[in-house]
Amino acid sequence: MNLQNFTFGIDFGTESARAVLLGLEDGRPAASAESYYRSGVIDKLLPVTPRCVALGPECALQDPMDYVDAMREVIAATLQSTAVRPEQISGIGIDCTASSVLPVKADGTPLCILPEFRRDPHSWLKLWKHHSAFAQARTIRDAALERGESWLSEYSEIVSPEWFFPKILETLDESPDAYLAADRFIEVADWLVWKLTGRETHNSYMAGLKAFWSAGRGFPSESFFAHIDKRLEKLIGTKVSKDVSPVGSQAGCLTDRAAAWVGLRPGIPVAVATSDGHAAVVASGPLSPGRMVMTMGTSICHFIGGRRRKVIPGICGCTEDDLVPDSFLYEAGQPCVGDCLAWFVGNVMPDWCVREVTRLGMSSYEWLERQAAALAPGESGLLALDWWNGNRSVLGSADVSGLLIGPTLSTGPISIYRALIEAAAFGTRIIIERFEQHDMGIGQLTACGGLANKSPLTLQIFADVTGRTIGLLASEQASAFGSAMLGAIASRQVTGGIGHDGESAVDMIDRMHCRNRSTYQSARERAAVYDRLFAEYARLYDYFGRTDGSTMKVLRGIRDDARTKRPRDNDAGSR
Amino acid sequence: MNLQNFTFGIDFGTESARAVLLGLEDGRPAASAESYYRSGVIDKLLPVTPRCVALGPECALQDPMDYVDAMREVIAATLQSTAVRPEQISGIGIDCTASSVLPVKADGTPLCILPEFRRDPHSWLKLWKHHSAFAQARTIRDAALERGESWLSEYSEIVSPEWFFPKILETLDESPDAYLAADRFIEVADWLVWKLTGRETHNSYMAGLKAFWSAGRGFPSESFFAHIDKRLEKLIGTKVSKDVSPVGSQAGCLTDRAAAWVGLRPGIPVAVATSDGHAAVVASGPLSPGRMVMTMGTSICHFIGGRRRKVIPGICGCTEDDLVPDSFLYEAGQPCVGDCLAWFVGNVMPDWCVREVTRLGMSSYEWLERQAAALAPGESGLLALDWWNGNRSVLGSADVSGLLIGPTLSTGPISIYRALIEAAAFGTRIIIERFEQHDMGIGQLTACGGLANKSPLTLQIFADVTGRTIGLLASEQASAFGSAMLGAIASRQVTGGIGHDGESAVDMIDRMHCRNRSTYQSARERAAVYDRLFAEYARLYDYFGRTDGSTMKVLRGIRDDARTKRPRDNDAGSR
């Protein structure tokens, strides 16, 4: 029987929650579990009775109660699979996608469970990839430019519809009643911590990256918000908590009520939440300069550490690293990677592939991976732009879209699948080159996340396209692993007796972090072909992403006009 | 019992042969039948034993004996379905795709049925859409430019790999033995007429459009061919017949042997063959200026008449109209329309669509048509370039490829399907505008062919995109109908007693031609949206089609390099 203490890390992803139980002393995972959200991502119809409510395009909602259920289920399932006893749990850390924004009443009740708001999409949890707050992102950016708000440069003058305030402003614009009824708008990560500890606090990582906050200057001013809309003047401090806590600190302790509900003992320290990507960075060890961490799943987040804050055009995320003194964390990203492959499987994978998959008893991805690996770089004649869900970095443009060039009558689906993976790799190379243009050299890549674990082909293509070695983290649940480490860091004052008195957060990260399971090397011959393809990718990138009035933007305008004229009453065109 | 005489028209398309039996007096079809080619289009593996031979990309071959079988079958099936007796048949006309080139021995035996050549792809029938003779098309064009050959301007300085001589030169380059062994290279249409009449003659329509011939100057000179390759010097007159006969004349009469073989009486006049598209033009009636005929099937051919021959850049087909005195026939085309929709069904139509199709007991096309019709123009945000099989007019470039722009995570397969139809319509609009820029106004469109008959949505989109009214011919077999009319015209001297003594070809066409079944009008609101989309189509058209070193051409170079390095030993990437 292992007598050491353990911490729980729980990672709330886009489709499911994953828990990892980590030994405090040896830093080894003892058990893990996963639980899917009952309603998944809600992007077509709100699951309400008597009849469903149709959602607009770019909408991506979730049911917050699915998160609560999933949390209880993964904790129970993890404990059931191990001999570790609940009394041995000495800390909890939580991470989540961001910005995933929930309107709640003053007592934390989500607006969407109130009967009078159940049919209003704006009362539900707006998932990070809820992308319909375009106009609002533009309004906020225009207002900041107009007023010369100095903080805007910290975000490369980009405001993404994915962020915190565009989502809130969208609610004000489209459902003023829901806006009025919401006592708080909160990151779902912080809401879960609130449910566990009874304390509402905004985590510094998301506040910094998604809500224009920094430790030095706080949030934007009342007059800025009033300039956008008079009704927003007192937003900060009333509907949005001013209380921001650094990642790595303790948010509070498990309340009696929450303890009973999750099946753990009361009083366990709970860490301030962070983003799923950031938690994975923590899992990967201290982020020395020159190493980039990629969390690869539905989307990719890229993380790199720096000694000072600088403005890198097109990189809209930089925040102080609360765990490592005197350093900054830069975040870039591609919003649609695993998601794009899933789009392929759901929308353009022909039935003869499905029959083949069924015959061989494989998953679609496994089969596609095997087939696509048999193709040589460049052989298909295809090239794609990976903007099926916009471009986060370096363009920071949510109104670009996908592109596939090169199909002929002899183009098969496998070639398209491989082209989508390659496009994601080219997008990452653009990001790496942007950092390097600003004297942040990147020598080595660390990968983690569902896609990295499931697709060796993806890692090989990324290695070949970027010309760099990629290390794959040993844990398949890097985010949950990192959250568990944050739980351990948060519980230091309580569990100090375990033998690591006075250990700094950095020291703990260095000691407990996850090692690599394997590495992928770039091969010269493949890299040479990809250099040629990348030159074309970069050309298309400029032409469609950087030309004023480019076709993609015009098409979006035409599309929006067409949809305004004829409300979407059927679903024939999509799934 | 109907005592009038009848003519047989047989149309040899890409996948099947169709026959129509037409009343000589009333010009009404009495019966029809269809027969598919046993081996279809051979584009992956040559169907030979003991093991198949893998074909390269862009390869599209056929078995000429399939044509012979199909001819016998459709004649028998047509006669079986009607009370018309074989003695009542007084003429036969044949049309075929072009340039579909067959190497044969001096007695007409196809090279590919000889055991020593059975495994050589170059000994088979090269179908019009056999597209691998790129390099040879370039060689021929370069030679003509270098020598200042005046006839090149008649073809807008374009030489397509689809044409007669590039296909022959490809055989010389890649299989000199097959070249040597071939006593003749011949259009399969003319070969079929040869089989029926015992006379080998080149029809003027294909000679003019696909083989650089004109009535005034004949074929290019010996020195021109010698300039390309010494071995080609005596090509014309030895391996290619110099005997060119005008369309509308009689090639000969059914021989005893052929009569026994097709089940008709000997001596029936057989018309000089023509292309399937041209036959459909004949069926549609006299081609007055301002009317354009579109034969819509796997590809689209556009026909328009003119009073004089002029050079219209990008329109590479103009030939004297042998049926209408003092006029010229212009031909333009899009090589991949129905083919592109078939590509969609075979390569990117997901299994849930297939399940839906199966559940409803519809054909895939029927179901897709119904779903796509529910979308409004512009609603999908998608736009495509229809170059899955190159661009014939106005670019005359076989090395461009397809493009799909605008997909997002909410893009479904139906939207893609509709975008492919719209792209074809935009391509037709580019062609119409090119004619109009050269003072050949086009007021009205006549449509026929499989796609036009099966897809009202396609015709509606074409009407909306071009802003013109489209009449759909009543006969579903317009080409066979037109060939039957040519059979009637060819048999005038024999059947002169029927009451139309001295009737000119134009008069016969005017009297017998097929009427419209229905018309499609353009709607202002939809046309306005398509005007906006077309502006973007035209922009992409210029950027990818007219820019030197455009991405499409670079990708093709990279692809060809990759394929050279690694011979294609599996078929994972395509189907």
Tens-of-pLDDT digits for all 575 residues of chain A?
A: 457 899 999 999 999 999 999 999 888 999 999 999 999 999 999 999 888 899 988 899 999 999 999 999 999 999 999 999 999 999 999 999 999 999 999 999 999 999 999 999 999 999 999 989 999 999 999 999 999 999 999 999 999 999 999 999 999 999 999 999 999 999 999 999 999 999 999 999 999 999 999 999 999 999 999 999 999 999 999 999 999 999 999 999 999 999 999 999 999 999 999 999 999 999 999 988 899 999 999 899 999 999 988 999 999 889 999 998 889 999 999 999 999 999 999 999 999 999 999 999 999 999 999 999 999 999 999 999 999 999 999 998 888 999 999 999 989 999 999 999 999 999 999 999 999 999 999 999 999 999 999 999 999 999 999 999 999 999 999 999 999 999 999 998 654 444 455 788 999 999 999 999 999 999 999 999 999 999 999 999 999 999 888 999 999 999 999 988 765 444 333 33
Residue ranges of A 392-451 with Cβ closer than 8 A to chain B: 401-416, 418
Confidence (pLDDT) at B408? 95
Number of residues in chain B:
575
Spatial distance between the Cα atoms of A470 and A455, rounded to a whole number of angstroms: 13
Spatial distance between the Cα atoms of A386 and A383, rounded to a whole number of angstroms: 10
Mean model confidence pLDDT for chain B: 93
Other Cβ atoms within 10 Å of B434 Cβ, number: 17
Q: Residue B183's closest CA among B240, B136, B222?
A: B240
Confidence (pLDDT) at B572? 37
Confidence (pLDDT) at A501? 57
What percent of chain B is modeled with pLDDT above 70?
96
Mutation to test the B interface, candidates A61, A162, A409, most B Cβ within 10 Å: A409
Sorting pLDDT into bands at 50, 70 and 90, what band is B325? confident
Confidence (pLDDT) at B97? 95
Instruction: Return the structure tokens found at B69.
Output: 């079988």
Decide if A359 touches B, using CB distance below 8 A: no
pLDDT score of B49 more than 90 = no
Confidence (pLDDT) at B536? 98
pLDDT score of B568 more than 50 = no
Decide if A467 touches B, using CB distance below 8 A: no
Query: What residues of B are in contact with residue A381 (Cβ under 8 Å)?
Result: 401, 555-556, 558-559
Place of tokens 């006009």: A561
Residue ranges of A 327-356 with Cβ closer than 8 A to chain B: 336, 339-340, 343, 346-352, 354-355
Confidence (pLDDT) at B497? 41
User: Residue B376 is nearest to which of A336, A382, A566, comparing CB atoms?
Assistant: A566
Burial degree of A1 (CB within 10 A; 0-12, 13-18, 19+): exposed
Spatial distance between the Cα atoms of A575 and A564, rounded to a whole number of angstroms: 20
Sorting pLDDT into bands at 50, 70 and 90, what band is B316? confident
φ/ψ of A133, rounded to 5, equals -90, 40
Q: How much is the ipTM here?
A: 0.89
DSSP B410: T
Spatial distance between the Cα atoms of A20 and A7, rounded to a whole number of angstroms: 8
Spatial distance between the Cα atoms of B221 and B205, rounded to a whole number of angstroms: 20
Average pLDDT over residues B486-496: 77
User: Residue B350 is nearest to which of A347, A536, A558, comparing CB atoms?
Assistant: A347
Q: Residue B9's closest CA among B229, B200, B234, B282?
A: B282
pLDDT score of B139 more than 90 = yes
Query: A420-458 burial string, b = 16+ CB within 10 Å, else e?
Result: bbbbbbbbbbbbbebbeeeebebeebbbbbbbbbbbebb
| Among chain A residues, CA nearest to B400 | A406
Sorting pLDDT into bands at 50, 70 and 90, what band is B499? very low
Inter-residue contact A524 to A471 (CB < 8 Å): no
Confidence (pLDDT) at B571? 38
Greater confidence (A189 vs B572) lies with A189
Place of tokens 């020395």: A288
Q: Residue B447's closest CA among B307, B294, B323, B550?
A: B294
Q: Residue B187's closest CA among B67, B319, B290, B77?
A: B67
The per-residue pLDDT for range B227-281, each reduced to its tens digit, is: 999 999 999 999 999 999 999 999 999 999 999 999 999 999 999 999 999 999 9
Spatial distance between the Cα atoms of A63 and A37, rounded to a whole number of angstroms: 8
Residue A137 CA: distances (Å) to CA of A161, A335, A506, A556, B425: 5, 16, 36, 16, 37
Confidence (pLDDT) at A288? 85
Confidence (pLDDT) at A48? 93
Average pLDDT over residues B526-543: 97
Q: Is the dihedral of CA B279, B398, B158, B169 positive or negative?
A: negative
pLDDT score of B498 more than 60 = no
Chain B nearest CA to A377, separation (Å): 7
Greater confidence (B572 vs A430) lies with A430
Query: What residues of B are in contact with residue A380 (Cβ under 8 Å)?
Result: 559, 573
Decide if A556 touches B, using CB distance below 8 A: yes
| Among chain A residues, CA nearest to B44 | A410
Q: Residue B509's closest CA among B485, B478, B481?
A: B485
Chain B nearest CA to A330, separation (Å): 27
Decide if A311 touches B, using CB distance below 8 A: no
Sorting pLDDT into bands at 50, 70 and 90, what band is B552? very high
Inter-residue contact A166 to A130 (CB < 8 Å): no
User: Residue A562 is nearest to which of B348, B372, B378, comparing CB atoms?
Assistant: B378
| Predicted TM-score (pTM) of this structure | 0.90
User: Residue B551 is nearest to which of A413, A536, A575, comparing CB atoms?
Assistant: A536
Spatial distance between the Cα atoms of A186 and A168, rounded to a whole number of angstroms: 10
Q: Where are the beta strands (DSSP E) in A509-573?
A: 516-520
Confidence (pLDDT) at A196? 98
Say if the Cβ atoms of B536 and A554 lie within 8 Å.
yes
The per-residue pLDDT for range B193-226, each reduced to its tens digit, is: 999 999 999 999 999 999 999 999 999 999 999 9
